[in-house]
Every structure is written in C-alpha cells, then in structure tokens.
Amino acid sequence: MDDGRKCSIDIPLRPTTIAVFFPCTQGMGGGVPTDQEKRDFVGALVAHDLGRIVVCNVLDGHTEGHLKDDEVKQYFDWWIDLCIHQELQSVTQMLAAMGTLHNGKYPQDFKLGAPRPVFLFRCPKRPRKQRKFRELCTAVPALVLREVIDDTTLDALRSKSVHFPANHSSDWTDDFVNNMMSIPDHLRVARFGPGKSIGRNGNIWVTGKAGLDRKLVGHNELADQTRDVLGLVHRKPPDVLVAFHFPWEVTNKVPTARPTFMDAGDHRRFRVQPDAQHRRRMVAWGHTADLAKASKNARYIDGLPERVCGEIGTEALEPKGKFGFAPLGRVTTERGHGADTHGNDAAFAQRLANGRTNSQLAIALLGIIV
C-alpha cells in the first residue's frame, strides 16, 4: 500500500530518543501504516533499551502462542498510526502512547467511526487447578486504599489514628506509616465505597497471596521486598504500599488472562517467560522478574506467578462484598536505576534479547507485522 505517506529516515544504533519521528507524515494518521513507516518505527524501538524490552516480549509471546499474527499486526497498526496522528517526537513518547491502547481513551479525532479494539486479556490460557491460589493479591500505593474504601472502613481506620495524606504528592509522615503498620488484624478488612473499584483504567496485576506471604517471612522492609519480588521497578522512596487481598472466585466475575505485552504496555520489567523450566509448565501464568536477583546478576531471576484481571468492585466480591488488605510500609531503596548496573534497563533488555541483535529482533518483528 502507498498512500503518499512514505518517507525514509536513518536511525542510529543506540539513541536515547529519536529527534524527529516520521517527519514526512506528521499529523496525518487515520489509515494503515505503510511498510516503510513500520520499518522506521521498529528500527527506532530496537535502538532504545525500553523499546527493545517491548520487542523481545512481543516476539517471545508470539513464539509461545500467546498471541496470533493478526493480533500483533492489528496492535502495531493502531500504535504506529496513533504516534503519527499525535506527531510524537521520541521513543519515550511512542512507548507512553501504549497507555492509550491500554485504556482505550483515544483522541476524539483519531480513526473516526472505526470500532475501538480491546487489546487487554488476549491470551486465552486459563489455570486448570486453582487450589494453589485460594487468594489473590496486588500491591498498590497506600492512598489507593483511602480512595476506594467506604466511610465505615475509613472511620474504623481513623479510630486507630490512621489519617491519610490529602493526595499522592503529599508527604507521608513516619507517624502515619507506623500507625498503618499497627492496624490490628480484625480491622484489615474493607468494603468498596459506592461506585468505587480498582483497575478501572485497564487491568490489575495479581499473584497468589500465600506465595507473597512466604516471600515476606523474615524481612523487616516489607515494601522493599514486595517491590522486588513483584518486579515493581517504578516503586521507589518515599512510596508507601499496601496489599489488597481478593478471593480466587473474583476471576469468575471479571476478565482474567496470562499477561502479554499488550497488558504490560511500557512496563520496564515485564517479561514473557520465567527462567526455570518447572515454572514454564505453569502455562496460564506469567512470572515476575525479581529485582533483587537481577541486581545481583543472578542466572535465574524468577519472582512470583502473575496474571491480569479486569476491574474489581463490590459486584465482583459478592455475596460478602469485602476484601482484605495488609499495610506494607515505606519503600526505602531503589532498583533498576543509577548505579544498579546489573538491574537497569539496558541489562534487562540484554537479558531478554538472549543474544539476538537489534537487526535480528527487527527482522523477526517485521516478519509478523508487515
């Protein structure tokens, strides 16, 4: 296809950003990207550490049969065309645009009249045995608890001197954190407020509660350990975290799937396959990357099993309508940044590439989407 939008740009091997992207096509969009645009786009991705992480996950998920050719091609058609439409200038911006495909909140003038595809929950593999995962959990910023609970739960927490900051940019005092950690077990149960839920803008990443509990035994810094084993590289000081607990039965009421690159978007530590062969037999589960192991340049960096779920609110929790929570405290260290040479983006991209060159990655992906 040639609709007059073709152009050719030379892409350096390892730029941090691409100064100008698709200079001949800015502001157009709304069609099917040309083969040249796809080549330019993929070339830019593989020349960038975070882009290379995404490309590796696309190829590895495709090889494992998590996604079909036409699903990958459709995603890239929409992604590339969105970048053209929004005149994006760098790979960082291109990767951030994956968030729009994730939440479906496209510009009003983009692809007018075209049905909006849902790119979440595409992998159909479902666990055959649930006994191992009677409860699921997810770790979130502590203020999310304040934003979703009902007034009765909030009043019970206030009775224990738990007073939340006004917003996410406010400081968390040591007294608040200490009071959170001291909440008695019988008060670590909550209900959603009217119309409240989590995962409203996309999906929720969950793991087994029992598995996370075992990983926390013997650790004083619960937030740091949780961040590490769940691969939450974006959590850093002074974040305060809390774990939400849900019964396995919620997965009968909301969409759920093994995560793919489409669910992960530009998450910097998502990967398709665990290292250990026995974990690969859990074909319906992904596996997190353990950040502490990555920082030590360990051969295996497997964390915990993970799946993605859709929005969870009161209806998903019926008949009891309650969920548990556990304060995890304050994150005190960083991973994947600065001097963390074995755990940074470049090292993780190299680990996922597993010897594949940028050219090999690009050729393989273009073989699917062109």
Q: What would the pLDDT profile of 310-341 be if each residue is shown by its tens digit?
A: 999 999 998 888 999 999 999 999 999 878 89
Summarised one tens digit per residue, pLDDT across range 5-16 is 333 333 333 333
pLDDT at 274: 95
- Give residue limits of the domains in the chain: 35-119+345-369, 135-330
Summarised one tens digit per residue, pLDDT across range 260-307 is 999 999 999 999 999 999 999 999 999 999 999 999 999 999 999 999
What percent of the chain has a predicted confidence (pLDDT) above 70?
Answer: 91
String of DSSP letters for 154-212: HHHHHTTT----SSTTS---HHHHHHHHT--GGG-EEEBPTT-EE-TTS-EEEEEHHHH
- Asked if residue 20 has pLDDT above 90, the reply is no
CA dihedral defined by 139, 289, 352, 368, rounded to 10 degrees? -40
Q: Is 329 helix (H, G, I), strand (E, B) or coil?
A: strand
Instruction: Identify whether the C-beta of residue 343 lies closer than 8 Å to the C-beta of residue 254.
Output: no
String of DSSP letters for 211-276: HHHHHHTT-S-HHHHHHHHTT-TT--TT-EEEEEEEEGGGGGTS-EEB--HHHHTT-TT--SS-SS
